């Protein structure tokens, strides 16, 4: 990491801190001392400056200088004190829950693009975010934490705001802090061929992240105290029966473990709040899943899972977010069960049969946010739709075919259209005006597309039609 000159360091700090230090002589002197502690390292300067942004209170600056000095002194035996300088930003978080949310990001591999939505789901399932009256309100609280981490330069927003990532030095700092406690094992993305040896499993280990490794087998002697086990994107073929005895487990993450066809009995996992089986080859749900009374997030998005046991969903009264792939053997009773989940705020579903979708809409109560994927045909979506995805809908030539001009779609926030080979235009200016909360439009692999927004004859494109707060993404 290249060091700046003294003048460059001060200029960068002043630019990021957004404080007119030259107007307050006493402040100017102490700011220079803070910049000196950053050792002319750009990442350290930006991180510390963001923590003190728009702060004019001299007492806060004196305290910051003291805390920064302590953070640097706490990091021993290193050629540079950069981790100590970065730790100052972590210390400024103060809240233990926010700090644990930060640590959670370090469970991902180096340079990993972390989807915001996925991260927030995990935080909520872990109980790191205060639960509120609705899932949307809880999400708002989680996004507030996420923004705080970004504002403190502990995370960086990427991919048009959809993802965040951690600078490798900040991740190293996070892992350095967690190494002082035997609660974490993070070996994500390390190209492991074998499961970590038994001696590496510390007695009171709580969180183990082994995602994105080439691990083929898991030994039967799993640690009893685990509350997070992330094996996503590994080539594991079979889970040991000992998984069934991890009674403290709150999150079991097996996303895109593409060789797993069976998951052992889950009846004893009474603390489980987050179960992710997306992209596995499971053909039936695990025995005992109906016993998971604390489950908040359930991801069963697997094309191999053709049906669910009758009565299972109705027993999962605490589920707030459900992702599911309704296969060809789905029964009417299964679809109706999903619609009756009292705590369900978000459904993300793919309906293979249009009849199933009609049943769902007919039996649905009001006030549930939805993410719907149409893969075979279309019908009029429910009026409180929030996110609409159209995949492989060859009969659709325009979004107006799906959303009628007379319908009320004021809740719609995002539209994703992919692989619709006969799509000519997305929507008219008139329909766009009927979507006041639309934020994202994505059109992908629609080769016949001619217009995103069609203007009526004689109509000029107004500032309202091209709203700056709507993101257009086309490929």
Higher local confidence (pLDDT), 106 or 179: 106
Number of H helices, E strands in the chain: 12, 18
Axis-axis angle for helices 82-91, 42-51 (nearest 10): 20
The SS3 call for residue 337 is helix
Give CA–CA dist 356/363, Å, rounded: 11
Strands 321-326 vs 297-300: parallel, antiparallel or unpaired: parallel
pLDDT tens digit sequence for 382-405: 666 788 888 777 778 888 877 765
Kindly state the percentage of the chain with pLDDT values over 70: 85
Cβ-contact 194, 71 below 8 angstroms: no
Highest mean pLDDT among 68-82, 167-181, 263-277, 455-469 belongs to 263-277
Question: Residue 307 — pLDDT band, cuts 50, 70, 90?
Answer: confident
Region 323-346: mean pLDDT is 79
What does the pLDDT average to over 272-292? 93
Cα–Cα–Cα angle for 84, 85, 86, rounded to 5 degrees: 90
pLDDT over 90 at 431, yes or no = no
Three-class SS state of 142: helix
Cα 299 from Cα 289, distance rounded (Å): 12
Report phi then psi at 254, rounded to 5. Answer: -125, 30
pLDDT value of residue 74: 59
- Per residue in 162-202, pLDDT tens? 899 999 989 988 888 887 666 888 999 999 999 988 777 87
At 342 the pLDDT is: 83
Please name the residues in contact with 375: beta carbons below 8 A apart, sequence gap of 6 or more. Answer: 350, 351, 352, 391, 392, 393
Highest mean pLDDT among 19-28, 328-337, 403-412: 19-28
DSSP letters, 40-58, are T-HHHHHHHHHHTTT---H
Strand intervals (E) in 305-428? 321-326, 346-351, 369-374, 387-391, 414-418, 425-428
Output phi, psi for 431, to 5 deg: -65, -35
pLDDT score for 149: 94
Higher pLDDT, 285 or 456: 285
Partners of 454 in the beta sheet? 428
State what percent of residues in the chain have pLDDT above 90.
30
- Secondary structure (3-state) at 33: helix
- Which two structure tokens, joined as six digits, stand for 413? 């926030």
Instruction: Identify the band that residue 461 occupies on the pLDDT scale cut at 50, 70 and 90.
Output: very low
Contact of 358 with 384, CB cutoff 8 Å? no
CB 395 within 8 A of CB 419: no
């Amino acid at each position: 990491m290249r060091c700046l000159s003294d003048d460059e360091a001060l200029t960068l700090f002043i630019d990021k801190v957004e404080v007119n230090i030259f107007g307050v002589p006493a402040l100017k002197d102490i700011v220079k001392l803070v910049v000196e502690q950053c050792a002319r390292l750009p990442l350290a300067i930006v991180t510390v400056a963001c923590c003190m942004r728009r702060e004019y209170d001299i007492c806060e600056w004196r305290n910051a200088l003291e805390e920064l000095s302590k953070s640097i002194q706490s990091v021993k035996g290193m050629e540079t004190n950069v981790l100590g300088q970065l730790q100052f930003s972590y210390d400024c978080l103060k809240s233990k829950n926010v700090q644990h949310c930060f640590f959670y990001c370090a469970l991902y591999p180096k340079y990993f693009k972390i989807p915001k939505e996925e991260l927030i789901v995990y935080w909520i399932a872990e109980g790191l975010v205060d639960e509120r009256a609705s899932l949307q309100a809880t999400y708002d609280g989680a996004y507030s934490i996420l923004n705080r981490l970004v504002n403190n330069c502990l995370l960086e927003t990427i991919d048009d705001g959809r993802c965040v990532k951690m600078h490798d030095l900040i991740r190293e700092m996070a892992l350095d802090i967690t190494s002082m406690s035997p609660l974490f094992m993070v070996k994500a993305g390390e190209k492991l061929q074998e499961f970590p040896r038994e001696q590496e499993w510390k007695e009171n280990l709580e969180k183990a992240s082994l995602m994105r490794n080439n691990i083929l087998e898991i030994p039967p002697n799993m640690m009893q105290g685990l509350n997070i086990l992330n094996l996503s994107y590994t080539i594991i073929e079979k889970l040991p029966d000992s998984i069934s005895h991890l009674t403290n487990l709150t999150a079991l993450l097996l996303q895109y473990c593409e060789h797993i066809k069976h998951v052992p009995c889950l009846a004893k996992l009474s603390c489980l709040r987050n179960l992710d089986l997306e992209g596995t080859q499971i053909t039936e749900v695990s025995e005992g899943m109906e016993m998971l009374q604390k489950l908040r997030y359930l991801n069963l998005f697997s094309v191999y899972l053709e049906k669910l046991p009758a009565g299972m969903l109705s027993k999962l009264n605490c589920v707030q977010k459900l992702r599911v792939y309704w296969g060809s053997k789905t029964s009417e009773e299964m679809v109706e069960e999903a619609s009756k989940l009292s705590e369900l705020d978000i459904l993300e579903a793919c309906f293979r049969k249009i009849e199933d979708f009609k049943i769902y809409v007919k039996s649905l109560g009001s006030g549930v946010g939805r993410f719907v994927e149409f893969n075979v045909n279309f019908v009029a979506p429910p009026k409180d739709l929030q996110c609409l995805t159209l995949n492989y809908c060859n009969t659709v030539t325009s979004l107006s075919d799906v959303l009628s001009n007379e319908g009320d779609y004021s809740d719609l926030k995002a539209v994703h259209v992919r692989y619709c080979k006969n799509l000519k235009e997305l929507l008219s200016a008139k329909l766009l005006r009927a979507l006041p909360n639309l934020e994202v439009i994505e059109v992908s692999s629609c080769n016949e597309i001619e217009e995103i927004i069609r203007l009526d004859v004689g109509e000029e494109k107004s500032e309202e039609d091209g709203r700056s707060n709507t993101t257009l993404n086309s490929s």
